[in-house]
Structures are given as structure tokens and as C-alpha cells.
């Protein structure tokens, strides 16, 4: 049986592309006892509220028809965000050379967060250039990788 996120992604892709956007990610998560189905979209130049609405309405109807999820859930469509999480190989390929933040499950050298330029991604392992020194983080130790925004 296909994962809920894969089924929803297959349903969402033509709707998202029809709205002139790209499908970034789909997540189905339980938070504070409630299930959330989130579809993240991307668009060159940024995602507007109108883009989210153009995807949300027809996709909601498709989800009602296909009924891929038993029980109730909250459905959301939003932008992937400027500080978006990188999860798939194509995400990492697109942002090679950009500044990212790697968060670890357990501290390394007394820290759980590292910022540097994304130098590589292979089999879930991430290589960062931090001030001219390359550092490898294994898939097993990485909790999250996302684009880093300087404030």
C-alpha cells in the first residue's frame, strides 16, 4: 500500500503545476493530537496567497473524491518558505553552494546546530563548507537541514 504522502503527491502534482507552481513537499503529521496534511508549493519569484488558494480548492475536492486518508485531518497548502527544509536529493542539488543550517539529534563538539555552504549531498549525508573547512554530517545524525536566513 502506498504511503499517504505519495498518494497525495500524485494527486497534487497536476493541480500544483496547473496553477503554475512546483510541488515542494507533502507531509502528513500528528501534532497535539490532531492530524495535518500539508502540501508545500514553490514558484519562481515566490508564492502568493492566490497561488495557495488556486491549489487548495481543486485539490481539496480531489482529496474528498479519492479519500486517501481515513479519519479527520486539517488540510493546508502553503509556500515552502524562505527557510525551507531540504529533504529530497533534488532539493539539495538545487541549493548547492547556498548557506544552510544543519540541526543534529545529538551534540557534536558541544553544538547541535551548524551553518555553512552546502558542498555536497550523498545518500543522506551532507557536506558543509564552514569557513573553508569541509565537515561531513551523516544521515543518522541529521535531524533537519534547511536554508539559512541571515537576519
Query: What average pLDDT does range 68-77 have in this prediction?
Result: 94
Predicted confidence (pLDDT) at residue 140 exceeds the cutoff of 70:
yes
The confidence score (pLDDT) of residue 29 equals 95
Mean pLDDT of the chain: 95
Q: Which is higher by pLDDT, 101 or 1?
A: 101
The confidence score (pLDDT) of residue 75 equals 97
- C-alpha triplet 27, 48, 72: angle, nearest 5°: 35
pTM of the model: 0.85
Contact 78, 139 (CB under 8 A): no
The hierarchical CATH code for the domain 89-147 is: 2.30.30.100
For residue 40, the cross-strand partners are 25, 78
Give residue 150's pLDDT band: very low, low, confident or very high (50, 70, 90): confident
d(CA 53, CA 60): 10
Q: Which cell numbers in the block locate residue 135?
A: 565537515
Predicted confidence (pLDDT) at residue 1 exceeds the cutoff of 80:
no
d(CA 83, CA 132): 23
CA nearest to 80, candidates 44, 36, 50, 114: 44
**pLDDT, tens digit, for every residue of 19-52?**
999 999 999 999 999 999 999 999 999 999 999 9
Q: What fold does the segment set 4-79 form as a domain?
A: GMP Synthetase; Chain A, domain 3 (3.30.300)
For residue 88, the cross-strand partners are none
**pLDDT, tens digit, for every residue of 74-131?**
999 999 999 999 999 999 999 999 999 999 999 999 999 999 999 999 999 999 999 9
Q: What is the largest CA-CA distance in the chain?
A: 53
Residue boundaries of the structural domains of the chain? 4-79, 89-147
Query: What average pLDDT does range 132-139 have in this prediction?
Result: 96
- Beta strand residue intervals within the chain, DSSP E: 22-31, 34-42, 74-79, 99-108, 111-122, 125-130, 133-137, 142-147
The conformation of residue 84, written as its DSSP 8-state character, comes to P
Give residue 69's pLDDT band: very low, low, confident or very high (50, 70, 90): very high
Amino acid at each position: 500500500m502506498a504511503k499517504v504522502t505519495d498518494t497525495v503527491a500524485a494527486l497534487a502534482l497536476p493541480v500544483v503545476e496547473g496553477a503554475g507552481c512546483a510541488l515542494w513537499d507533502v507531509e502528513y503529521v500528528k501534532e497535539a493530537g490532531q492530524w495535518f496534511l500539508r502540501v508545500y508549493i514553490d514558484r519562481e519569484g515566490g508564492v502568493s496567497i492566490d497561488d495557495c488558494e488556486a491549489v487548495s480548492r481543486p485539490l481539496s475536492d480531489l482529496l474528498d473524491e479519492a479519500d486517501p486518508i481515513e479519519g479527520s485531518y486539517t488540510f493546508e497548502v502553503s509556500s515552502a518558505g524562505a527557510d525551507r527544509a531540504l529533504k529530497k536529493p533534488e532539493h539539495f542539488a538545487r541549493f548547492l553552494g547556498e548557506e544552510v543550517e544543519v540541526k543534529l539529534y545529538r551534540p557534536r563538539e558541544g553544538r547541535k546546530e551548524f551553518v555553512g555552504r552546502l558542498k555536497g549531498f550523498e545518500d543522506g549525508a551532507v557536506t558543509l563548507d564552514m569557513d573553508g573547512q569541509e565537515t561531513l554530517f551523516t544521515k543518522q545524525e541529521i535531524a533537519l537541514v534547511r536554508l539559512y536566513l541571515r537576519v
